Amino acid sequence: MTLNFSGRHFPSDIIMQALRYYLAYKLSYREIEEMFAERNIHFDHSTLNRWVIKYAPLLEAIFRKKKRLVSGSWRMDETYIKMKGQWVYYYRAVDKFGAVIDFYLSETRDEKAAHAFFTKAINQHGLPEKVVIDKSGANAAALDTVNIRLWLSGCMLFMIEVLTVKYLNNIVEQSQPKSEG
């Protein structure tokens, strides 16, 4: 998959640099517009918004394809963070080497949200051999649901081992997100 910049009024390197500033840093559309104007490159903040809407999902798909494989041993945790002025639960998992597997934002901390996170992560990376969690009952219940579905589908060889070993989750605790606030 390649990005198609045909029909755009700006070169691809300008568009990609503007997208990088927006996606990598906490900058508004208007701040990026101003930064480029200082370099005598003029576009409207609404143009940048259209670029983000068009190209950000395509970039994510490209980057996910190029991302290296993750280990079969996952460490999973969730925390409460402030995102754009609203408190949300941030579910995340890393492999045993610290590579980020996936994340999920939810308004609730319950089995449904944990199951949605695991479904998303498993769809992207396949079934893990084992998952280390904290003592959250919701996470354990979600993994039990995944294992029950595997068992009912006849995939008893691929059951996920669930561990609750606090010190093994330290690697996830150290991968805290930067919250806005």
Is-contact 163 130, C-beta < 8 A? Answer: yes
Torsion of CA 38, 43, 46, 48, to 10 degrees: -80
State how far the Cα of 22 lies from the Cα of 99, in Å rounded to an integer.
Answer: 23
User: Tens of pLDDT along 121-174?
Assistant: 988 888 898 999 988 888 999 999 999 988 888 876 788 898 887 665 555 555
Over residues 12-49, the pLDDT tens digits come to 999 999 999 999 888 999 999 999 999 999 999 999 99
Measured distance CA(132)–CA(120) in Å, rounded: 17
Distance from C-alpha of 107 to C-alpha of 86, rounded to nearest angstrom? 9
**Do you know the residue count of the chain?**
181
Residue type, 69: L
Domains of the chain: 12-66 (no CATH), 73-175 (3.30.420.10)
